[in-house]
Amino acid sequence: MIDTIIFDLDGTLADCKELHQIAFRDAVMELCPNAKYEDEDIEGRPTREKIRILHTMGYEFNGDKLNEIKQAQTQDRLEEYVKYNEPLCNEMLRLQKKYKLCCASNATANFVHRSLKIMQLHHRGDGNQVFTKINTATYFPPKPDPYTFFDCMRWTKSTPENTIIFEDSIVGIQCALATGCTTIRVTDVAHTIEEMKKL
């Protein structure tokens, strides 16, 4: 019997993967215009990990400065990509009556909390939180380390046998599968809503 559902954010609850891709690429082009990479090579990873990958490819630039530029761009353009979605909210509130809900993202705490507020998924109308637990890469090891998922299960006192994880990226899906939890692979928010309706 399912007890806990863990959701990724980018590409699962909010269609903002493109925002991260554009902001990262713009920051890279500003500091290291000769850098060449494919989005798929770094998809689903936090900015610091993407920077590390580019450094191992031999590109030299100030990683802290790139991170600062990328984070500023995502915050500046966040509301272009993250929107209130009534069908998603309705499904989330329906599921909240039956399950403990968690959010585990490779994004920063600032990005995740601001996004959830825009989406009206941070707190319900009565002031109570929608999610039992929210984990971000600011405070937890990023995926592909499965620690963030195990921490959500520890918090909700659930096990892999009674937990479902919604993920979209290759890194996130591999990480979710490594936990032994049922993993629902989604392609975007509309697909997430379709799968939520089956629960």
Do 13 and 191 contact (CB within 8 A), yes or no? no
Nearest to 105 by CA among 177, 194, 12, 38: 12
Domain boundary among 25, 59, 81: 81
Residue with tokens 């309706």: 197
Mark whether 180 and 114 lie in a shared domain.
yes
- CB proximity list for 74: less than 8 A, separation 6 or greater: 19, 20, 23, 111
Residue 159 in this model has a pLDDT that exceeds 90: yes
Residue 71 CA to residue 110 CA, distance in Å, equals 10
Domain boundary among 56, 81, 106: 81
List the domain range (segments joined by +) for residue 62: 17-81
Residue 128 in this model has a pLDDT that exceeds 90: no
User: Would you place residue 8 in the very low, low, confident or very high pLDDT band (cuts 50, 70, 90)?
Assistant: very high
* Residue 176 in tokens: 């979710």
Q: What is the pLDDT of residue 31?
A: 97
User: Would you place residue 43 in the very low, low, confident or very high pLDDT band (cuts 50, 70, 90)?
Assistant: confident
Do 130 and 167 contact (CB within 8 A), yes or no? no
Please tell me what DSSP assigns to residue 99: S
* Average pLDDT of the segment spanning 63-92: 96
Query: Coil, strand, or helix at residue 188?
Result: coil
- Mean pLDDT score of the chain, rounded to an integer? 95
Do 183 and 165 contact (CB within 8 A), yes or no? yes
Count up the domains in the chain and report the number.
2
Residue 196 CA to residue 190 CA, distance in Å, equals 10
Mark whether 38 and 97 lie in a shared domain.
no
Mark whether 43 and 95 lie in a shared domain.
no
Residue 174 in this model has a pLDDT that exceeds 90: yes
Torsion of CA 180, 141, 99, 174, to 10 degrees: -30
Residue 56 in this model has a pLDDT that exceeds 80: yes
- How much is the pTM? 0.92
Q: What is the pLDDT of residue 41?
A: 82
